[in-house]
Structure 1
Amino acid sequence: MTYQNLTLAFDGRIARVTLARPNKLNPLDWATVKELKAVVAEVEATPGIDFVLLTGAGRSFSAGGDLDGYIRLYQDPAAFQAFLDDFFAMLTGIEKARAIWIAAVNGVCVAGGIELLLACDMAIAAESARIGDGHLNFGQLPGAGGSQRLPRAIGLLRAKHLMLTGDLLDARAAESWGLVTRVVPDGELIAAAQGWIEGMSAKSPVGLAGAKRLANLTLETTYEEGLRQEIAFVHNYATTEPDATEGLIAFKEKRAPRFGARKEN
């Protein structure tokens, strides 16, 4: 697929996705949402891709939706529903993807931008980043899962603060609130994210995907059911996946593990 609003490049086990409309602060209009949805599918269908590095071109990760486009969509309820469905499918696709999605947040990340961030598995921010909800600043409400993911990420009171005030957090505050887990100088953002990937690349690809799936159970089920599913999942992993045994043998032999090619769980 040819992309107009973003770029997609493959580099070994990494897919690099860059929102590429910097003159508009990388808006998440319907066309861009459809392209991101297609990217999720393409990455999942590409053998050997275990990591996705997502960022924005220019001085913004994403400033959110296209407000002019919303005016038109609001006049067509069926079209607006289809847009919301595509946005939901795209973010849920990232959340459920086998690959690990890492958001490298540069500049402004607000409204739809924070909803995109919240769907990713890991997030790192440049010192210039400013992150918030911001929907109500223009009379809008989060419609791509932000009202549900944000309280789960940072707690209900803090989520309500961001939603009701429209405040933007600087990068250090976003780190202390748990929206990102590391802040680096602007010029080191991509290198630092790549450093994360290099560290994870030594681990079992099947194990990485499994750990992501287990963690996401907290979003999908009750505590008790999550515990039951964890037992079943780990039993299957340990008794059928060679990487599980290889890790133990490598530890015993005091050498680096030699994990096999990724297999689907």
Structure 2
Amino acid sequence: MTYRNITLAHDGRTARVTLARPDKLNPLDWSTVKELKAAVAEIEAASGVDFVILTGEGRSFSAGGDLDGYIRLYADPPAFQAFLDDFYDMLTGIEKARAIWIAAVNGVCVAGGIELLLACDMAIAAESAKIGDGHLNFGQLPGAGGSQRLPRAIGLLRAKHLMLTGELLDARTSEAWGLVTRVVPDAALLDAAAEWVAGMAGKSAVGLAGAKRLANMTLDTPYEEGLREEIAFVHRYATTEPDATEGLIAFKEKRAPRFGTPRKD
């Protein structure tokens, strides 16, 4: 696919997706959502891509939707439904992807921007970042999972505070509230995200994807059922994936694991 509103670059096991309409603060209009949806599929289909760094060009991660586009979509209910479905597919695609998605939040991250952040597995922010919901500031409601993911991420009271007040949090408060887990100087943002990737790169890619899947089960699985699912999943992993045995042997032999090698038996 030819991308116009985003860029997609590959560097070994890492892909970088950049929202690339800085003049409009990287809006999540329908064409951009479709491009992101296609990028998610392309990355999942790519061999050996285990990490994705998602960021925005310029002074914004994403300021949310395209207002003129929404006005047109509101006048065409079937089209608006199709847009919401594409947005859902794109965000759940990130959430369920095998690859680990890292949101590197620069500048403004609001409305659809925070919904995009919340679908990612990890998040790091530049000191200049401003993060919030903001929908109700202009009479809107979150329609891309924000009302469901935000309370799960930071708790119900804090989520309702952001949704009802429209307040934008600075980077340090966002970190304290659990929207991001690290704040770095603006110029160090992408390097810091790359450091996270480097720290995970020595781990089993199959194990990383499995850990992501197990953690995400808590979003929609009752506690007891989740415990049983964990047992079943770990049993399959330990008895069928060579990386599980290789990790134990490497620890015993006091050497670095060589993950990704076929099982000899």
Please classify the TM superposition score into its range, dividing by the shorter chain length: over 0.9
Secondary structure of the residue aligned to 1:251 is helix
Give 1:261 deviation, angstroms. Answer: 5.8
Q: 2:205 — aligned with what?
A: 205
Q: What secondary structure, in the 3-state scheme, does the structure 2 residue paired with 1:125 have? A: strand
Q: Corresponding residue for 2:237?
A: 237
Q: State the TM-score, normalized to the length of structure 2.
A: 0.98
Give CA deviations for 1:53-106 in whole Å, capped at 9, x if unaligned.
000000000000001110000000000000000000000000000000000000
Which residue of 2 is the match for residue 169 of structure 1? 169
CA contact (8 A) 2:243 2:261 kept: no
- Aligned with 1:219: secondary structure? coil
Counting aligned pairs with the same residue, the percent is: 85
Is 1:146 the counterpart of 2:146? The answer is yes
Q: Residues 5-29 of structure 1, C-alpha deviation per residue, up to 9 Å, x if partnerless?
A: 0000100000110000000000000
Match of 2:3 in 1: 3
1:227: which partner in 2?
Answer: 227
TM-score by length of 1: 0.98
Which residue type is aligned with residue 257 of structure 1? P
CA distance in 2, matches of 1:247, 1:161: 44
Aligned pairs (5 A) from 1:129-144 = 129-144=129-144
Q: 1:261 to 1:23 in 2, by over 3 A?
A: farther
C-alpha separation in 2, matches of 1:151 and 1:214: 19
Query: 1:226-262 CA distances to partner (integer Å, 9 max, x unpaired)?
Result: 1110000000000111100000000001000000169
Structure 1 residues without counterparts, runs of 5 or longer:
none
SS of aligned partner of 2:180: coil
Q: Deviations over 1:177-222 (max 9, x none)?
A: 0000000000000000000000000000000000000000001211
* Aligned AA (2:41): A
Q: Secondary structure of the residue that 1:109 maps to in structure 2?
A: strand
In the alignment, the residues of structure 2 paired with residue 90 and residue 259 of structure 1 have an alpha-carbon distance, to the nearest angstrom, of 30
Q: In the alignment, does 2:167 pair up with 1:155?
A: no
Matched residue SS, 2:238? helix
Q: Unpaired runs of 5+ in structure 2?
A: none
Aligned-residue CA RMSD (Å) = 0.8
Where does residue 120 of structure 1 map in the other structure? 120
Secondary structure of the 1:98 match is: coil
Q: What is aligned with 1:181?
A: 181
- 1: distance between equivalents of 2:189 and 2:89? 28
Q: Per-residue displacement from partner, 1:161-182 (whole Å, max 9, x unpaired)? A: 0000000000000000000000
- Give the Cα–Cα distance (whole angstroms) in 1 for the partners of residues 72 and 222 of structure 2: 40
| Distance in 1 between residues matched to 2:143 and 2:36, nearest whole Å | 17
Paired residue for 1:24?
24
In structure 2, what is the Cα distance between the partners aligned to 1:237 and 1:152? 27
Paired amino acid for 1:164: L
Q: Deviations over 1:15-52 (max 9, x none)?
A: 11000000000000000000000000000000000000
d(CA) in 1 for partners of 2:80, 2:133? 20
Q: How many residues align?
A: 262
What one-letter code is carried by the residue in structure 2 that aligns with 1:12?
G
Matched with 1:83 is: 83
Q: How far apart, CA to CA, are the structure 1 residues paired with 2:83 and 2:169?
A: 28
| 1:129-179 deviation line (CA, Å, top 9, x unaligned) | 000000000000000000000000000000000000000000000000000
> In the alignment, which residue of structure 1 is the partner of 2:65?
65
Q: Is the 8 A contact 2:242 2:261 kept in 1?
A: no
User: What corresponds to 1:194 in structure 2?
Assistant: 194
